[in-house]
Each structure stands twice: as structure tokens, then as C-alpha cells.
């Protein structure tokens, strides 16, 4: 049984504490189907999230099978299912692949036979077997709701919470979903709570919970609803609620509570007697009313971190290759950016000359020779510095494109999977593995392609390492930003600004004032990659670069450590953001 005793959830508003859920006390037995209804803003979804543990109750006690959820005990991930308003599946995947991924992330199966059995059962219970191979993106609204239910049913949850799963559906689809939820509540003693705006199909529910301003205005059998509110049509209930304050409705319900619960229990016993309600054996009383000895429930454990990691990484690559737009964008960037850099390669291919060993007898000729050598050095040095910085900034842009939307873009799905038992460390590790492949491919191709047209006169391996570290640093920092932001748009905008400030604040074009440079330089990965690459040049070209810049060059070892620090900071931010609760 699920029982709420004086449960409250409050927020601070204008310096005052406001109860969005206000002293709610209800009892819901096993095998029960309840609709939670009420006007917009009355606290329906807030109550559902409080039961789920997504909102920490401000007061009162939640009991599950006699154990207090408010005193350390919590639902196991397999015990509870939550179906939110939004889709919890990726559009490029098929129905079967979505349910399979949900199963692999939530349930530690013994073998493939058990895995397939769980998948097939969930598809069959929700009527999705016939369209198992259909991509999620082509499903109708009702089919997506069924898919959301199937992805929760893989763990056989004892309590299923549904938030507006019928919203936006046509009347036929709405009734089908409500009928499906009704049938699900009749199996294995499952409690199903469904938040809905609709006042239709009440005959399929065991009880109706009406909320008004966060308080219980009614909780009882559907056939008592019209009588209780003194209306002839259920559509008149909401206007009727507005005629009295919530405190009066709550007080009125408390007077009728025991009578309504007695009627609910009587109907429940009738359903048990005629077989329309099936409870687990341990919950059924014998003929002499002595309870059957309690049987040990199936032990459902969450998969290990390695199993979740491989499932997530496999799914990420599958989504990537099926998103033709993303594949085309990555290929276009990898091809076009190095070509863009190579367009300026001729300017860096100037043959550096040195002064003749034979001293000129003509002073004017000697001065002319010195001037020509100086001009060649300046031209080559300026071009080399610019090309290296161009590579660095473009790789920074690639890094931003790689990860700015990686977590924020799937925030809602990730939060839902985390609620179902997904470990943040497994999730982040899968992102790092996926992004590392992009970083290596982009950075090495940039270095090799540009070097082919403009041979790097120096230590090519060191230069390639710094390009890779620059990309990795920007990718990691933007991944951290993506993990901290609530929306993909916020993460993308902040990442673009971060890349945009790299060039002017690096000091590679114009030296910054010393006071500003001291403050900004530690945060500019472009500077450290550029400085390290310049130090990797051959001595003559290194001197040529230094002859045309006023910005100091930092030793390679320091550049290496600073870029590594950028990577570490980005990953720490990403882990922190991934662990934070950001469910809206």
C-alpha cells in the first residue's frame, strides 16, 4: 500500500513559504488505478514528483508497504516507473531498440533469453509488437505514449506514475491509453497513478483524487464524484471548485473520507472475488482469512557500470550514424576547415634566408640584403603564427560543436534514465569515449592535411599533440557547460561566446595589456596550444615568429600541463552537472 500522511511540498516565493502540496493524506492499496485531476496549477504533477522522490517533501510522511520513504528507505529503481509528459525515446531508434536499451540500462539479466523475454512482454502488454521495427520519429502521439509505458514496464514496477500521458491525444487514443493503464493495474498488484486534465473515462478508474490549491478536495469512487460536488456533469466540477476555498473542500472531504475508503475497499474485494483483479499470491488471504506466508520477491538488480557504459556507447554511435545531418556536418567540418587553413599555406612556405658570409663591399647592398632577410623572416613568421592560431581556433570551434549540446540536448531523457537507475559515471564515460573518437579524428586530420600542403618545419608530433589537446580542452569545457545548463540553446550560446573570445584574448594577434593578460591567459586554451606549437617549430622559424609578435611564448611543458588542466576542469564540471538533479 502507498500511504501519504500530511505530506507537504513547499517553495520560497517573495520571501514566504508557499505549499504547492498542502497536507495531503491519502491511502492507495495494491492493484489500484487512480486518476489525479484538478485545475491547472493545483499541484497534480508536483504531488506525483513528490511521491516519486523527485521533490523532497517539506513535511509529513510517505509510506510504501509500511516503510517510511521519508526516513531513509527509498524505492528501488525497479520498483517504480515514471512516465513523464515528454518522449523518453530517441527518434532515430526503433521501438524495439528503445525498449532493449531501457532493459539493458535498468535490469541485470542472466542471459539473452531473459532479456528478449522482458522486451517481448513489454511490447505485448502495450500493443507495440506489430510496430517493433518502426522508428520512433514516425510514431503517432498515442504510440509514443505506449512506448514510454513499455520502457517502464521492463522492470515490472510495483508502482507506475503517469504524468499527462493522455494529453494532446484524440478521444479514441485517449481511451485506449486509459484502458491500457487500467489493465496494467490489474496485474501483479500494480498501483497506477495517472495525472490527467481530462474528466472522461472515469468509469475505468478505481478512485479519483481531486486537488484544489494543493489540497485534497475529494478522493473516492468515481460514481460518488458528481454527488459529492453536487453537479450533474463532471465538466462542472472545476467551476464548482472555484466557488469555495481549498480549506473548506479539504475539511468536507475529511468528513466523508472513511465512508469513501470503505466503499473503495468493498469494490476491491469484489474485484478480487470475480478475478478481475490479480494480486501476487503473498497478498491474497486464505478462506479462513489468515494471510499466506510471504514469499520472497524476485531480486531485480541494476546492471553494473561497465554494462551501462557499453549500452550507452553503442546507442550513441547508432544514433550518430543514423542522423545523416550530423554525419554530413562532421564530414564537412573535417574536410573544409583544413582546406581553409591550407589556402594560406603558401605564405608560410617562404624560404628563410640568412646574411651572406661574404661581407658586402658596398654598404648599400649590405643594407639591402639585411632588409630582404628581415622582410622574409617577418613574412614567414607572421604567416606561421597565423596558420597555427587558425588551426587552434578552428579546432576550438570543432570542440564546441562536438559537445555543446551533447548533454543539454538530451537532458530530459538523461534525467529520466538516471531516475531509473542509470549511473552518472557510466553516462559521462560513454560521452567521453564517443567524443574522444571525434577529437582524435579531427585533430590528427587537421595536422596531417595542413602539413601536407605546408610542411611543418619542426617537431610535427609535438605540434599534433598540442592541436589534439586544444580540441580536447575545448570539447571538455563545453561538455561541462552542456552538463551545467538546462537547455541546449543556453549551452550552445555560451560555448560560442567561449570560442569567440579565444582569438582576441590569446594575445597572438595583438598583445594584451599585462594586467589583463595575467587574468585572462590561464583560461584561454588557444594561447597554450598556439604557444606550445610555436615552440615545436625549427629554430629558424621559431625565431621568425618571435620577431613579429610581442606576446611572450611559454615553454612547452607548461603549455602541456595547462591544457591538461583545462581538460580536467571540464570533465569535473561535466561530472558535477551530470550528478545534479535538473528535472523540470
Confirm if 65 and 114 have CB atoms less than 8 A apart: no
Residue 105's Cβ-side half-sphere holds a number of Cα atoms within 13 Å equal to 29
Output the CA torsion sign for 463, 468, 473, 475: positive
pLDDT, tens digit, 9 for 90 and up, residues 472-481: 999 999 999 9
Confirm if 449 and 342 have CB atoms less than 8 A apart: yes
CATH numbers and ranges of domains, the chain: 2-79+168-176+188-282 (3.40.50.300), 85-156 (no CATH), 305-349+363-579 (no CATH)
pTM here is 0.88
481: which 3 cell numbers? 557547460
420: which 3 cell numbers? 531509473
Q: Per DSSP, what are the bridge partners of residue 191?
A: 159
Angstrom distance (rounded) from CA 434 to CA 41 = 41
Whole-number pLDDT of residue 159: 93
Angstrom distance (rounded) from CA 254 to CA 218 = 9
Whole-number pLDDT of residue 503: 72
Output the CA torsion sign for 268, 273, 274, 278: positive
Length of the chain as a residue count: 584
pLDDT, tens digit, 9 for 90 and up, residues 277-304: 877 765 554 444 444 434 445 567 889 9
Distances (CA, A) of 543 to 352, 382, 406, 453, 548: 11, 11, 41, 22, 9
Which ranges in 404-423 belong to alpha helices (H)? 411-419
Confirm if 532 and 392 have CB atoms less than 8 A apart: no
Whole-number pLDDT of residue 423: 95
- pLDDT per residue of the chain (584 residues) written in tens, 0 to 9: 899 999 999 988 877 888 899 899 999 999 999 999 998 888 899 999 999 888 888 888 898 888 888 776 778 888 899 998 887 899 999 999 999 999 999 998 889 999 999 999 999 999 999 999 999 999 998 899 999 999 999 999 999 999 988 888 888 888 999 999 999 998 878 999 999 988 888 889 999 999 999 999 999 999 898 889 988 888 888 889 988 999 999 999 999 899 999 998 998 888 888 878 877 765 554 444 444 434 445 567 889 999 999 999 999 999 999 999 999 999 999 999 999 888 877 666 655 555 455 555 555 655 655 565 566 666 666 778 788 888 899 999 999 999 999 999 999 999 999 999 999 999 999 999 999 999 999 999 999 998 887 777 788 999 999 999 999 999 999 999 999 998 899 999 999 888 888 877 776 666 667 777 777 778 889 888 988 988 888 877 777 777 777 677 888 899 999 999 999 999 999 999 999 988 76
544: which 3 cell numbers? 621568425
Amino acid at each position: 500500500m502507498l500511504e501519504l500522511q500530511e505530506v507537504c511540498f513547499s517553495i520560497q516565493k517573495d520571501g514566504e513559504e508557499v505549499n504547492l502540496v498542502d497536507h495531503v493524506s491519502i491511502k492507495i492499496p495494491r492493484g489500484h488505478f487512480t486518476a489525479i485531476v484538478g485545475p491547472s496549477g493545483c499541484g497534480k504533477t508536483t504531488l506525483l514528483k513528490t511521491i516519486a522522490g523527485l521533490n523532497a517533501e517539506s513535511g509529513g510522511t510517505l509510506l510504501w508497504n509500511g516503510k517510511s520513504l521519508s526516513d531513509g528507505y527509498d524505492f528501488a529503481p525497479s520498483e517504480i516507473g515514471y512516465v513523464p509528459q515528454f518522449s523518453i525515446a530517441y527518434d532515430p531508434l526503433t521501438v524495439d531498440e528503445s525498449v532493449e536499451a531501457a532493459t539493458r540500462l535498468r535490469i541485470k539479466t542472466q542471459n539473452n533469453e531473459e532479456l528478449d523475454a522482458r522486451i517481448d512482454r513489454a511490447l505485448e502488454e502495450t500493443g507495440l509488437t506489430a510496430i517493433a521495427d518502426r522508428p520512433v520519429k514516425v510514431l503517432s502521439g498515442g504510440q509514443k505514449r505506449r512506448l514510454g509505458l513499455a520502457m517502464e514496464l521492463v522492470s515490472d514496477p510495483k508502482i507506475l506514475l503517469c504524468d499527462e500521458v493522455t494529453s494532446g491525444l484524440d478521444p479514441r487514443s485517449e481511451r485506449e491509453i486509459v484502458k491500457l493503464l487500467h489493465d496494467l493495474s490489474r496485474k501483479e498488484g500494480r498501483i497506477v497513478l495517472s495525472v490527467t486534465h481530462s474528466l472522461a473515462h472515469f468509469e475505468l478508474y478505481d478512485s479519483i483524487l481531486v486537488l484544489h490549491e494543493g489540497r485534497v478536495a475529494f478522493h473516492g469512487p468515481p460514481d460518488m464524484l458528481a454527488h459529492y460536488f453536487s453537479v450533474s456533469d463532471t465538466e462542472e466540477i472545476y467551476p464548482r471548485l472555484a466557488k469555495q476555498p481549498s480549506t473548506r473542500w479539504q475539511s468536507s472531504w475529511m468528513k466523508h473520507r472513511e465512508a469513501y475508503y470503505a466503499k473503495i475497499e468493498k469494490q476491491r474485494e469484489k474485484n478480487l472475488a470475480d478475478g478481475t483483479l490479480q494480486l501476487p499470491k503473498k497478498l491474497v488471504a486464505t478462506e479462513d482469512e489468515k494471510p499466506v506466508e510471504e514469499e520472497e520477491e524476485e531480486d531485480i538488480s541494476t546492471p553494473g557500470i561497465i554494462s551501462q557504459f557499453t549500452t550507452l556507447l553503442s546507442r550513441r554511435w547508432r544514433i550518430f550514424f543514423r542522423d545523416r545531418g550530423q554525419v554530413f556536418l562532421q564530414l564537412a567540418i573535417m574536410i573544409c576547415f583544413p582546406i581553409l587553413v591550407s589556402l594560406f599555406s603558401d605564405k608560410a612556405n617562404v624560404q628563410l634566408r640568412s646574411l651572406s658570409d661574404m661581407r658586402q663591399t658596398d654598404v648599400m647592398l649590405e643594407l639591402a640584403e639585411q632588409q630582404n632577410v628581415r622582410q622574409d623572416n617577418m613574412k614567414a613568421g607572421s604567416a606561421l603564427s597565423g596558420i597555427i592560431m587558425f588551426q587552434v581556433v578552428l579546432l576550438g570551434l570543432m570542440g564546441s560543436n562536438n559537445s555543446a549540446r551533447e548533454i543539454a540536448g538530451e537532458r530530459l531523457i538523461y534525467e529520466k534514465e538516471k531516475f531509473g537507475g542509470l549511473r552518472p559515471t557510466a553516462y559521462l564515460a560513454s560521452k567521453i569515449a564517443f567524443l574522444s573518437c571525434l577529437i582524435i579524428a579531427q585533430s590528427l586530420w587537421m595536422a596531417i592535411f595542413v602539413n601536407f600542403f605546408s610542411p611543418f618545419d619542426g617537431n610535427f608530433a609535438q605540434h599534433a599533440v598540442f592541436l589534439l589537446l586544444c580540441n580536447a580542452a575545448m570539447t571538455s569545457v563545453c561538455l561541462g557547460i552542456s552538463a551545467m545548463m538546462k537547455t541546449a540553446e543556453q549551452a550552445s550560446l555560451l560555448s560560442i561566446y567561449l570560442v569567440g573570445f579565444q582569438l582576441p584574448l590569446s594575445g597572438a594577434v595583438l598583445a594584451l595589456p599585462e594586467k589583463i593578460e595575467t587574468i585572462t591567459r590561464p583560461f584561454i586554451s588557444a594561447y597554450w596550444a598556439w604557444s606550445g606549437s610555436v615552440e615545436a617549430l625549427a629554430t629558424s622559424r621559431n625565431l621568425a615568429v618571435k620577431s613579429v609578435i610581442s606576446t611572450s611564448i611559454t615553454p612547452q611543458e607548461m603549455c602541456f600541463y595547462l591544457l591538461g588542466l583545462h581538460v580536467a576542469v571540464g570533465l569535473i564540471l561535466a561530472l558535477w552537472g551530470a550528478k545534479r538533479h535538473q528535472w523540470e
